[in-house]
Structure formats: structure tokens, C-alpha cells
Structure 1
Amino acid sequence: MKMLCSLAVVASLISLPALAATPAAQLDNKPAFIAGLIKKMTLEEKIGQLRLISIGTEMPQPRILQEIAAGRIGGTFNTVTPSENRPLQDAAVKHSRLGIPIFFAYDIVHGHRTVFPISLAQASSWDMDAIALGARTSAIEASADGIDMTFAPMVDISRDPRWGRTSEGFGEDPHLVSEIAKVTVRGFQGTSAANRDSLMASVKHFALYGAVEGGRDYNTVDMSPMRMYQDYLPPYRAAIDAGAGGVMVALNSINGVPATSNTWLMHDLLRKDWGFKGVTVSDHGAITELVRHGVAQDNREAARLAIKAGIDMSMHDALYLQELPGLIKSGAVSIREIDNAVREVLGAKYDMGLFHDPYRRIGVAANDPADVNAESRLHRAAARQVARASMVLLENRNQTLPLKKSGTIALVGPLADSQLDILGSWSAAGVARQAITLRQGLRDVAGDKVRVIYARGANITNDERIVEYLNYLDTDNPEIIQDKRSPADMIAEAVKVAEEADVIVAAVGESRGMSHESSSRTRLDIPASQRALLEALKATGKPLVLVLMNGRPLELTWEQAHADAVLETWFSGTEGGHAIADVLFGDYNPSGKLPVSFPRSVGQIPTYYNRLRVGRPFVEGKPGNYTSQYFEEKNGPLYPFGYGLSYTDFDVSPITLSAPAMARKGKLDASVTVRNTGARDGETVLQLYIHDEAASVVRPEKELKDFRKVALKAGESRTVRFTLDEDDLKFFNARLQHVAEAGQFAVQIGLDSENVQQAVFELR
């Protein structure tokens, strides 16, 4: 009511907006329409379009309405219902001088009302249809809540799992992440970002944010241009080529220059080289942070650097509003630079369809849902489908899995019955009470023939300092709730339950807050409280199945050695409990493959498969002295990139090449026959890698170039053909030229990055 009263006051002071009478013919001509609109705008209105504010944190609601009606806000984020967004749009369209609509944005990373598995989990599916389903469903749900833009996909290549935001990305490999980037953008935007059920994608974090030094969030990035172009930039380019309408700019510095003030990054690379025509948005408060980076003396200089670098919209600060008028007056910033930014903001709104219909996604009040969290608004079947495809079977000794739908199962662990944690970080408008935990999922899927007995067994951690940190953001609704019993009492209860059971299922790993922004870790092992529980459970002699919930690769050497089966489920979303149970009982045969390498210990980081070759390589089985290796433990990852087991077995034949050589601008086919040699139907992922034998610069050991998910019935075989061309052999040389050099190449095809068949051909 207070908001409506404030709006009425504003309405009495402002005349009808000018856009109401715009002829349809002019509106349909985007360049002419935007150019005409810019001519009508005052400097204050132009600067207002460059302001993206956070609802609920920057100013009280009545003030927001006044600012919008005065033309001093271009977009908002963090409102997630039509009834919240409609008054804000009313203030812009009906009560501002020009009637320019605002847009509504939100971080819809892996679901909206229905929470899908985290991005790292979705990448584990290697299933582009499943990933597209998640993005399209998210767009349908979010657009129905009046949202126009999502700050996603997050396509930062991450090779240091200490980084908390590893969970938000799609892994370590440029090709896999690029393919997912394209699919996700198309899923969000559909056939057009202007569609009623589409969202504009704003790819992030541009650029190189996943390479922060030491895996510590917000840290610096220092990287050679060749590595930048070869490994880290391709996913952003793929998202932009797929049509992403927005780019969110990273918080880190790049070779000494913050991305937010990096003219080379924003102008030369993004706009000139890549031809990006969309809107750029700073990350949260990033322009202000230029002062703390030490490249701006004060806020005035920070605003000048950002606008000149090409940052169109300033998120969650008032620097553009406060500083740009004075910078224009002094001549330090030109009106042309302001107009360029305004043109991109208005262009994004045009592409969202907001000038044709500002209420395109908000709709009319009569159609507002009576309950925004109604069960009928969820897409549970889609979430369960994607979650099942995202799980990776890491170990399965003596066919411990699948479980029988009979007997007694002991379910233990602090994550076994946590509705909040199973959603993962950045769970948008998802509601924890609607999430299916593993405890509920086992009971629902097992039916009456299985007795499931439960004990918590341990807290996530017994380190109160860590608990305090994870609960810091919301002390009224803590993420971590500690069981007040002693660790010994909790373990004793779990052991008693285990002794009554035929098999133990232990749900262990991280809380969702441990794999989040600003949650970098110095250790990757499962917390000591949970390890003590696992050791006690192992001592019972009962079969031990680990269900991992986590947002990054963990150090699992003890778990690999002692568990009978290990299922990596990541954070699997609203339907996670049902999906995990489907896999545990064999109603779904796991087919996921790792999109990241798992190190044996934190000391091995970085451990990624496509590492550059060295002059003294370590060779397994040969003496390690004076080779590139660590001498204290076995070298190589615990689980390699692309790895994942099934409840059946697959065999890959030697490679058949269509020719011994490929001509420039020619093609070459590489074929294998894959056979399901087991007793169950299943799916696997065939992966094709290229190894460049010799080049003008040091090249990686191998590089993923293609993959194919193949479903085979028990005993069935199929020939799978991959086609290579010259582009598959190209790389960035020392001059940053994208070239394919003549010579010998090895093509490798297998079920993970280490176990491959190989054949050699020549590029002439």
C-alpha cells in the first residue's frame, strides 16, 4: 500500500510519457527508433539508463519508485514476482517523462522456481539436450515471474577447485564449456530474446575469472595472451556467437588491469574483434572497487575509467549518477561515450521486446498466481530427468550398486536429509521445503519392500569458526544448524543403525555454502567430522556406499580406498533425492562423466588433462628422477577428466581412419565401434581428442575436439563416425594467429581422457 501511495504522488507531478504516441512503423525500425529516442533524452535521463540497482539493498521502495519515475534507473534485479515488478514498470512507463521501460534481471544460474542440478553437475551429463531442457525450463519459469534477463551462463574455465565458484561453471575444458555455453544461451533466449517465455542471457564473468590466483575469489589473474586465447576466452566467444545479448564484466584484474577498466578487453577484443553489439554490465559494485584495486584515485576517476572502457551499466552503485555529469561538464568524458552506452542499454531493452510491450512478461494483475510457490508451477519431471543424467559413478566394487529393493538400508550423514543443501548455491527462487532429500527419495523410490533407517551421524563440520562464517550472511536463517549432541554420541547412533542394515548409504561432502562465491578453500578433503563418521561405518564391515554432495572436486584418496561404491551427485536440485534414489536402485543407469579432473591431493593443483607438454615428462612405470613429477605420491589425477562408470561395461574398437592424411580445407573421418558388453542397457560418452605431434609452440598433451553420447542395449554395438576438418587442428600461435600447421597428428577416441584408442594421420 505504501508503494502505491508513493506512486500516486509521483503520478500527480509528471505528465504522460512521450513514447505512448510512437508510430508503429518507427517502433519497428530499431536503429531509427533508438536514435530518435536518444535525441529526446536529457543528460540526466541518459545517465539514468546506465544505472542497474539492487532491489532491497540500495534504497527503500518508495524512493525506488521516485527514482524510476524521474528517469534515473535503467534496470533492477532481485524482484521475482509479477506483483513486485508491475508497480516498478508502471513508474517507468506511465509516469516518467519519456516512458522508457526498465528491465528486470536475476541470477538464474541453474533453475528458477524449479532448481536443476548446479552447472558443474549439468556439465557432467555431457548431454546437450538435458542442459538445453534445464535452460529452457528456467526461462519459462522466470519469464512468467516478470524477469527479462539472467546473469548466466557462467562460462569461466576453472582449473583450481579451491575456488568456491567452481560449482557455478562447467569445468576445465574449453571445448566442452563452449558447447554448453551455446546450448544454454539458446535455451534461455529461445528463438528470440523478445519472446514472452524467453530471457536475455548475460554471459559472465568476462573475463578469466576462473583463473584467479590461488583459487582465491576476487584475486588477480596474470596470464599469457596465448593461454588466454587458447583456453580461457573461447567459451565467452561461443556464448556471444550464439547470440547472448549481455555480458557481465568480471571483478578480477587481468595482467594488472581490472576488467572493469580494461579498454583492451572491452573495446578491442569484445567490440572490435568479436563484434559484440549487446549491453555490458559491471559486476556488483565493481566500479567502486577500482579505487580499492588502486587504479583509480577516487570515485570520479573510477567512473571515468569504467565508462571509457565500455561498461554500459553500473551495478549496485551510484557512481555514474553522481560522477558522470561533472565528467561531461569538464570534458573528461564525451557525450558520445555516454550515448554509446545508452544505445546499448536501449538496444537490449528493444531486443527483449520491452518497447513493443513493457508488460510482456509481467502480464496483467488478474493473471498473477495466487501462490507464486504453488506446486503446479514446478517442473519436477524435467528436474529429475536432468539430475539423473548429471550423476557420475566413481567406484562400484563387487557390483555393490545398484541396491536391491529389499532388506534394510542404513542412511546416514549430515546431507542425507538437508533440503537446503541439495539445492546448491545460487538456487534463485527455489524453496527449500519443496526439495526432495535423499532420505525422502529413498523411501519414495524403494517402496514398502525396503526398510530405510536413518541417523545423522555427524555435523557438516565441528569447526565453529567455519560454521560462523557460513552463517554470517543470514544469522536469522542460518545455513548450518548444528546438532548439539557430542560427536561420539552421533557416531554411536549411526553405528547402531548401520549394524541393523544390509548396506550403508552415507551422504557426505560439503554444505552448499562451502561451494559458493567467496567460499574458497585451502583444503579439499571431506571435513574431519564426516571422515570420523565414515571410518566408524567402515569398521562395521557392512557394504559402504558414499553419496557425495559437493560443488567442486574433492580429495578422495581415503574414500576411494575404503568405500565399496562412490556416486558423485554434486548438488542435484529440487528433485535430487528422487534422482539419486533412481540411480542407487538401478532404475536409471548412471552415464555421467567428469567435466573436471579430481586431484589426489591439494598439492597437485592444478590437475587438468590438457596440460602443456614438457621436456622431461613423467612416464608411469619408469623412474621418476629428474622428471616433472611429485615424488611423495602417485602422479596423475585420482579421477581423470571424462571419467565415469556405468552398471554395464563398454568396449571401444581400434580407430579406422578414412585416409592417412587430410588436405587443407579437406575432411577426415575417424570411426570406432562401441559395444555394450554387459547385461544392462546403458549410455556412455565417446570422447575424441587430438594430439599435435610437433608445432611452432608447445602444445597440450591432448585436446577434446568432439564427443557423442551413445545409448546401447545390452550386447548391442554401433559404429560411431567423427568427422575432423582443418579447424579442429587450429591453435593460437605465438603471434596469436589462429592456424593449423602441417604435420602429424594423433586422434584418440575413448571413454575418458586417459583410456583411449589412437591412430595417426598427417595434415598436408
Structure 2
Amino acid sequence: MNRLRPFMLLLGLSLIGSLVCAQTPAYRDTARSVDERVADLLGRMTPEEKVAQMRIFHANRGVEGDEAGKMTLSEDVKQRLQHGIAGIKNPGEHLDPVAAATLNNSLQRYIIENNRLGIPALFVTESYNGVDAAGSTVFGRPIASAASFNPDLVHRQWDVVGREARLRGMHMCHSPEADVVRDPRFGRMSEAFGEDTYLTTRMVVAAITGVQGDYAGLGNKTHIGAVAKHFAGYGQVLGGTNFAAIEISERTLIDEIFPPFRAAVQEARTLGIMASHGDLNGVASHANPWLLTEVLREQWGFEGYTVSDANDIGRLHYFMKVAETPEDAARMALEAGMDVDLYADDAYALLPAMLEADSGLMAHIDRAAGHVLRTKFILGLFDDPYIDVAETAAGVRTEAALDLARESDLESIILLKNTAGTLPLSQGDQTVALLGPLVGEDTENAFRAVAGEYTNFITDRGFALTDGASAVPVLNADTDADLDRLESLAGEADVVILFLGGDEYTAKEGFFNGALGDRATIEPVGPQDELISRVKALGKPVVVCLLHRRTLSINVISEQADAILDGWDLSEFRDESLARIVFGEAVPAGKSPVTVPRSIGQLPFHYSGKEINNKKGYLFMENGPLYPFGHGLSYVDFDYGELRLSDSTLVAPDSITVSVEVTNTGTRPAKEVVQLYLKDMIGSVTRPDVELRGFQKILLGAGERRTVTFTITPAMLEFTRLDMERGLEAGVYELRIGTSSADYRSARFRLTVPR
């Protein structure tokens, strides 16, 4: 009898285990694979529940929380949640992080408890300046980050974004932008990483791996998922206007526009991709099976979910006019490979009724819902959907995060011009005027803290650029008295610092209904040119702090200013960072992520345009850019030695190296971005004039010399050839290594491609 007891005990435990397994759905079993859990869950869902996993609505539909995070839901929201939901955009965005986390826990609990299968929701944010929500660390915009030429810095910045977003209960961000943006008329220019394919690619990979915690952070609630956008080519809209057509040759698309997206998928493993508002060579992006399925999934192996830009599936019918009816629009997007409908009530909401007439849609619905559920499993939401609010306050806006924002600024500010060593200013007995429309409320305090007690300040904004209307701002025309006052105040100073450029009203997203954000010209708006001309006539040193969200043709500013610091759109420590560089506490280390044109008439105008584009200039205007891509001065000079190649012939698939000695000839430590460019001397098709193919940011002490080495691989020389196949062509290539795309040392090598 005693011998039977262990056996009976084991049998009993086995029976209990079998009973538990029978009662626990496979999708709840953490020991199973994600694919197994998704398949099990899909098999249990009704069509209405599946379609619910293909829709996202905005929290402004009626998700509200008070200062303590206590939740109130509108009846509209409750109706939308009865079958579950893919996600909700921006819940708690106006609350502090603790209140937002409290609200989002309550919201998630309500969603889980009020849909039949207990499916959690994704809460989605944006991340242009850090997490787009109250109480988050405010970083510079992506275009400013690109100026750092420091992917490691960008990775660390987006790591903070991922952590802060998750701590307030968010799970995905509709960022970063992988668009290559080359038209400064486009109001959304600052949301992207500039004009260059390679620089954008490295920054996008750094951002996605940062915000996603190198992927390993997913599932343990430390980070969120990224949604790279806008696939594809949205930065190339005709006329630089939101929602316009996109015309890009297939060769340019493959060689210059696709690489950042391909790297987002294959290298950074982004969890999401957002489609473009526009069409692509006549085919609406939201109904483009070649783009969304053949390229994205079959060629690149993307396994995440695709999401529409706001309301764009419905717009296939009433805006793009490629669908006869709303139902046709929904069908076209679904069959093309679009998984999630953002915001619309006139698109995927129609699918359950459409299924009654066309059961063949179910396979596409299963695919789309499955991609969303997969993401939720990867993020650990089925197993642990709530945030530990006790950790939120201590993890958001930490001293380390704020210091990182400062570091990012100092690495991103570009010294465009510095006549006769105007900068840095001495910290002595002097009067400095801080004037102009971009002066902020705390500008003087920040400059005073850096300059010390012996520097006096005169501060006056003078005039606003616009009336501040968020939809369609109107330029301020009543500035005569302000100009007179600013001129008078400048006359009282020893040095004048003008804060010029543009703001959030002069470059912004032009939303679909009513709003405008693009411009037909790219000169500084208002009387800014007149202001600097009048101040310069006083005979005082004039320093310009240029702050803006689009490239500006600053011809007058460039001519009149003795020194120009280009900050683009910096962090919450903008003024402190500018002051530290102005007074020499820090050395400028940024490089221009764009080509600065002299006139809008030069567009399209980027450094890597085809060589034949440079044959002719324009009457009555100096040829070439005002400032070239990669340009950025320092408070020291860097000497570049001759290039040394390991071999004059590169035999594919091997590689060669090129080295150069760089010396800091100044008297203080400083950072330099050593840039590598390649030029195909002869190709079967007309090639870009030159292309960035590598860069290294190095810190050199006073008088220090360092050898910088780049490896040249055949992959760096591939392009889409005459036969439309991507590959190599034997021939001579030129290497250029220098401090900008226009200031470099060069050498040549020959590529041999064995048959």
C-alpha cells in the first residue's frame, strides 16, 4: 500500500495539471510561443472582436482623468470598447506622469474587464521632442538630433523616451520618421533627420533600438514599440505641401528613400510601420499591395503591424478618389496589407457587415488582427498589463535624463559662421543685448547664470512673428515701433545677440481640415532681415542664435552677422545651452544635416543630387549653397593629413581601409565629425554627385592627433543599375574624407568585380 502512495500522488498531480491546462486557454499560457498564442486567440474571436483589434481611436473621444488620474469615460468611448480595441491614442497626455499612469491603469483594467476575452489595448503616443505628453523630458526635435552626427547619443535619448513613455502606461509611439526630407517648404521638416539617406538611416536605427530597449526590453515593461513612418516617400511631396502627390523614380526610391525603412525593419526590428498620406507615382500608399506586402513583408520580412495615417483609409474614397465607395476603400486597404485603421469610422468599421457578403475577407482580417495581437504579446500586455505607479515619479525626468537633454543640445548646435573669432564672448564687464522674436521668457536668466555677475543684459523680444493662431497663423505686420525700440536698445550694448529664425507657427503640420503649415518661400518671415541690418549698422558685434524648424535661406543674416549659432529646435535647456557655447563653457560640435540654399529657386537642392545638376547656375545669383551639407565650425581648427589606402584596388567581396590623421591645432578640447563620402566616377546610369557613407565623431584634446580609419566594403558601392538590378559596377571611385561635403581630402581606388 505504501508503495502505491507516490504513484497515486503523481497521478493525482497529473490529473490536476491536465484539468488546469484544459481550463487555461492556450493564449494565456506563457510557455507557448507568440505564434501559438495568437493562433489560439484568433480561433476564439468573433468577426466583431477581430475588427476591433484593427482600429485605434483618439482619447479625445471621451477618455478623461483629473489631476489624481481618476477616470471618466464617455458613452461614446464605452461603445467603442465593447468588443475590445487595438489601441487608444494619447490617453492622459495632459496629465503629469503619475496621474497619467493611474489613469491608464484604470483604462486598461476597464478594457480588459469589459471585453469577452480580456484582450488589453495598446496606448499610443508621439515622440518628436521626447514623449509628447505633460511632465516628460523635452529633447530637441529629430532634425536637431541629426545635427549631432552621434547615433549613440540619439540611441540614449530615445532610450529615455521609451522608458518615460512606458512609465506613464504607453506602449507604442508613432515615431520616428524615416522620411528623407529635402524640401524646406514642407512644414514637417523638423520631424525627420534631414536630407541624407545614410545619416537618416543611422539615426532611425538608433532611435528605434533606443525606444524599443534594443528589443530585449520588451516584455519586461521597460520600453515601448516604435512605428516608423511615413512609408514611403512622404518627405518628397510635390510643392512641399502636406497631402500632395509624390513622384519618385523607381531607382531613387530603391536607392535613396527605402534604405531607412529597410533598416528600421531588418536592423532595428521596428514593431510598426505607418503608411504615407500621399500616393506613390499614382498609387495611393494605403492601397498599394506592392509597397505594403511585396516590398515590406515579402522582400524585407516585416512581421509587425501596419497602421494608417489619420483617417487615410476612408480618404481613399473621398479624397484620393481611387475607391468608388467607403466599402471599396476598406477592401482596397485591407487587401493591400493595411492592418490598423487610425481614427476613422468610415473604413474598417464597415468590415463586419462586408463579411456577410464576402467571406473571403476573413483571411485578410485574421492576418491584420493577428499582427496587432502579436505586438501585444511581445509587449507582455496579456501577462502584466499594468504599470507600477510607485516607480513612475522616480523614473521620469530624472537628473540623468535632463543632463542628457543638455548634452544633446551641446552636440547639436552648429557654428555656421565666426568672423575673426567673434565667439566665444568673454565673461567680463560688458553689456550684452538679447533681442529678437525668438527670445524666450527665461532667456535672460539662462544667459545671466552662465555669464556671471559682471555682465549686464538688456533683453527685449520686440515682436512676435505671427498672431499665434494654431491653424492658420497670420504674420505680424505691426512691427515698426518694435523695430525702432530694438535698434535703440542695441545701441546701448557692447555686443548684440539676435534670436532669429522661425517658431512652431511658421513651420508645422498642416492638418487635413483647415490648417496650414507649409510655406511657398523659405526666407525668414517678418522684418528679421531689416532688424539685423539696422543693428549691424550700429557698428557693434552681432551674434545670431538661429532657431527654426525648416531650412531658411538666410542670405541677409549670413552677410550681416559676425557669428551664427544654428540651433534648429533644441531641448527645454535651449537658452542655457546657447549661453554655454556663446560664453565658451562648451565648444560647438554640430554639423548641418541639410544643404542650405541661397534661394527657393534652387530647389530641389541637396548635396547628393546628380552631378549633371551642377552644370549651370542661375542668372544674377552666386552658384552653390549658402552652407554645404555637413558644415559646422568649431572654436579650434582641425588639420587633416593625406589619405592612406590599404590598397588601390577593392576586389569584391573583400574590403579595403582608408585612414587619415586628424589634429586639433587649437588650445582646448573639441569634437570633430570626420565624414566619409564616396563618388562613382563612371556609372551605367547618372549617379549622385557624392554620397555620405560613414562618419565618426571624435574628441581631441588640445594639440592631440588621432588616426581615423574607415572600412570600405562592396555593399557601400551598390546601386540600382541600368538593368534595374541592385548590385555593383566595376570602375573607379573617389574617396573624400573631411570636415564637410565641401571641405575634404580625396583619393581614388578601383573596384573589381570577379565574374
Distance 1:97 1:741, change over 3 A: same
Cα deviation 1:631-680 (Å, max 9, x = unaligned): 22111111000000001111111211111101111111111111112222
After superposition, residues 123-138 of structure 1 pair within 5 angstroms as: 123-138=146-161
Distance 1:481 1:662, change over 3 A: closer
Distance 1:313 1:129, change over 3 A: same
Please state how far the C-alpha of 1:376 moved relative to its aligned partner. Answer: 5.9
| Equivalent position to 2:413, from 373, 391, 394 | 391
Please identify, of 52-61 and 71-80, the stretch whose mean Cα deviation from structure 2 is larger: 52-61
| Equivalent position to 1:497, from 489, 495, 501 | 489
Alpha-carbon separation, structure 2, partners of 1:639 and 1:189: 35
Please state how far the C-alpha of 1:377 moved relative to its aligned partner. Answer: 8.2
Higher-RCO chain (CA-CA 8 Å, sequence separation at least 6): 1
| Equivalent position to 2:431, from 381, 391, 408 | 408
Alpha-carbon separation, structure 1, partners of 2:81 and 2:252: 47
Please state how far the C-alpha of 1:495 moved relative to its aligned partner. Answer: 2.1
Q: Is the 8 A contact 2:330 2:348 kept in 1?
A: no
Cα deviation 1:608-643 (Å, max 9, x = unaligned): 0111132xx65xxxxxxxx43222211111100000
Please state how far the C-alpha of 1:719 moved relative to its aligned partner. Answer: 1.1
Q: Report the equivalent of 1:6.
A: none
Q: Report the equivalent of 2:595.
A: 597
SS in 1 for 2:740: coil
Structure 2 residue 283 is the aligned partner of structure 1 residue 279: no
Q: Is the 8 A contact 2:212 2:225 kept in 1?
A: yes
Alpha-carbon separation, structure 2, partners of 1:472 and 1:175: 34
Please identify, of 44-53 and 58-67, the stretch whose mean Cα deviation from structure 2 is larger: 58-67
Q: Is the 8 A contact 1:160 1:215 kept in 2?
A: yes
Q: Report the equivalent of 1:247.
A: 273
Q: Report the equivalent of 1:48.
A: 52
Q: Is the 8 A contact 1:689 1:705 kept in 2?
A: yes
| Equivalent position to 1:731, from 719, 722, 740 | 719
Alpha-carbon separation, structure 2, partners of 1:174 and 1:666: 24
Q: Is the 8 A contact 1:109 1:168 kept in 2?
A: yes
Q: Is the 8 A contact 1:508 1:549 kept in 2?
A: yes
Q: Is the 8 A contact 1:68 1:88 kept in 2?
A: no
Q: Report the equivalent of 1:307.
A: 334
| Equivalent position to 2:290, from 252, 260, 264 | 264
| Equivalent position to 1:550, from 524, 535, 548 | 548
For residue 79 of structure 2, what is the amino acid of its counterpart?
E
SS in 2 for 1:532: helix
After superposition, residues 145-164 of structure 1 pair within 5 angstroms as: 145-164=168-187
Q: Report the equivalent of 1:622.
A: none
SS in 2 for 1:137: helix
Cα deviation 1:223-265 (Å, max 9, x = unaligned): 1110100111100111112110000111010011111111110
Please state how far the C-alpha of 1:481 moved relative to its aligned partner. Answer: 11
Q: Report the equivalent of 1:13.
A: none
Q: Please list every run of 5 or more consecutive structure 1 residues that lacks an aligned counterpart in the other structure.
A: 1-17, 419-436, 462-466, 474-478, 619-626
Q: Report the equivalent of 1:35.
A: 39
Alpha-carbon separation, structure 1, partners of 2:377 and 2:399: 28
Q: Report the equivalent of 1:471.
A: 470
Distance 1:59 1:93, change over 3 A: closer
| Equivalent position to 2:680, from 688, 692, 712 | 692
Q: Is the 8 A contact 2:62 2:77 kept in 1?
A: no
Q: Is the 8 A contact 2:286 2:336 kept in 1?
A: yes
Q: Is the 8 A contact 2:341 2:348 kept in 1?
A: no
Please state how far the C-alpha of 1:458 moved relative to its aligned partner. Answer: 2.7
Q: Is the 8 A contact 1:93 1:358 kept in 2?
A: no
For residue 131 of structure 1, what is the amino acid of its counterpart?
V
Q: Please list every run of 5 or more consecutive structure 2 residues that lacks an aligned counterpart in the other structure.
A: 1-21, 65-72, 93-99, 511-516
Q: Report the equivalent of 1:94.
A: 113
Q: Is the 8 A contact 2:27 2:36 kept in 1?
A: no
Please state how far the C-alpha of 1:732 moved relative to its aligned partner. Answer: 1.4
SS in 2 for 1:344: helix
Q: Is the 8 A contact 2:84 2:120 kept in 1?
A: no
Structure 2 residue 211 is the aligned partner of structure 1 residue 188: yes
Q: Report the equivalent of 1:449.
A: 454
| Equivalent position to 1:525, from 523, 526, 536 | 523
Q: Is the 8 A contact 1:438 1:580 kept in 2?
A: no
Taking structure 2 as the reference length, what is the TM-score of the superposition? 0.89
Distance 1:666 1:23, change over 3 A: closer
Q: Is the 8 A contact 1:141 1:377 kept in 2?
A: no
Please state how far the C-alpha of 1:521 moved relative to its aligned partner. Answer: 0.7
Please state how far the C-alpha of 1:132 moved relative to its aligned partner. Answer: 1.2
For residue 54 of structure 1, what is the amino acid of its counterpart?
H
Cα deviation 1:715-750 (Å, max 9, x = unaligned): 111111111111111111233322111111111111
SS in 2 for 1:235: helix
Q: Is the 8 A contact 1:27 1:33 kept in 2?
A: no
Structure 2 residue 635 is the aligned partner of structure 1 residue 613: no
Q: Report the equivalent of 1:427.
A: none
Alpha-carbon separation, structure 1, partners of 2:583 and 2:291: 50
For residue 497 of structure 1, what is the amino acid of its counterpart?
L
For residue 228 of structure 2, what is the amino acid of its counterpart?
V
Alpha-carbon separation, structure 2, partners of 1:19 and 1:732: 56
For residue 450 of structure 2, what is the amino acid of its counterpart?
V
Please state how far the C-alpha of 1:321 moved relative to its aligned partner. Answer: 4.7
Q: Is the 8 A contact 1:555 1:598 kept in 2?
A: yes
Q: Report the equivalent of 1:425.
A: none
For residue 684 of structure 2, what is the amino acid of its counterpart?
S
Structure 2 residue 60 is the aligned partner of structure 1 residue 62: no
Supply the RMSD in Å over aligned alpha carbons.
2.2
Alpha-carbon separation, structure 2, partners of 1:148 and 1:357: 12
Please identify, of 293-302 and 525-534, the stretch whose mean Cα deviation from structure 2 is larger: 525-534
SS in 2 for 1:590: coil
Alpha-carbon separation, structure 1, partners of 2:713 and 2:137: 40
Structure 2 residue 180 is the aligned partner of structure 1 residue 176: no
Distance 1:315 1:689, change over 3 A: same
Alpha-carbon separation, structure 2, partners of 1:513 and 1:588: 30
Taking structure 1 as the reference length, what is the TM-score of the superposition? 0.88
Q: Report the equivalent of 1:144.
A: 167
SS in 2 for 1:388: helix
Distance 1:25 1:161, change over 3 A: same
After superposition, residues 337-736 of structure 1 pair within 5 angstroms as: 337-359=364-386, 362-363=387-388, 369=393, 379-406=401-428, 407-417=430-440, 437-461=442-466, 467=467, 470-472=469-471, 487-518=479-510, 519-614=517-612, 618=614, 627-736=615-724
For residue 383 of structure 1, what is the amino acid of its counterpart?
A
Structure 2 residue 229 is the aligned partner of structure 1 residue 204: yes
Please identify, of 731-740 and 677-686, the stretch whose mean Cα deviation from structure 2 is larger: 731-740
Q: Is the 8 A contact 1:391 1:592 kept in 2?
A: yes
Alpha-carbon separation, structure 1, partners of 2:403 and 2:127: 19
Alpha-carbon separation, structure 1, partners of 2:714 and 2:174: 35
Alpha-carbon separation, structure 2, partners of 1:72 and 1:290: 26
Q: Is the 8 A contact 1:155 1:177 kept in 2?
A: yes
For residue 691 of structure 2, what is the amino acid of its counterpart?
E
Please state how far the C-alpha of 1:379 moved relative to its aligned partner. Answer: 2.9
For residue 91 of structure 2, what is the amino acid of its counterpart?
T
Q: Is the 8 A contact 2:61 2:77 kept in 1?
A: no
Please state how far the C-alpha of 1:114 moved relative to its aligned partner. Answer: 1.0
For residue 251 of structure 1, what is the amino acid of its counterpart?
H
Q: Is the 8 A contact 2:685 2:722 kept in 1?
A: yes
SS in 2 for 1:597: coil
Q: Report the equivalent of 1:122.
A: 145
Give aligned pairs, total: 701
| Equivalent position to 1:79, from 91, 97, 101 | 91
Please state how far the C-alpha of 1:562 moved relative to its aligned partner. Answer: 0.8
Distance 1:583 1:333, change over 3 A: farther
For residue 489 of structure 2, what is the amino acid of its counterpart?
V
Alpha-carbon separation, structure 2, partners of 1:389 and 1:588: 9
Distance 1:590 1:663, change over 3 A: same
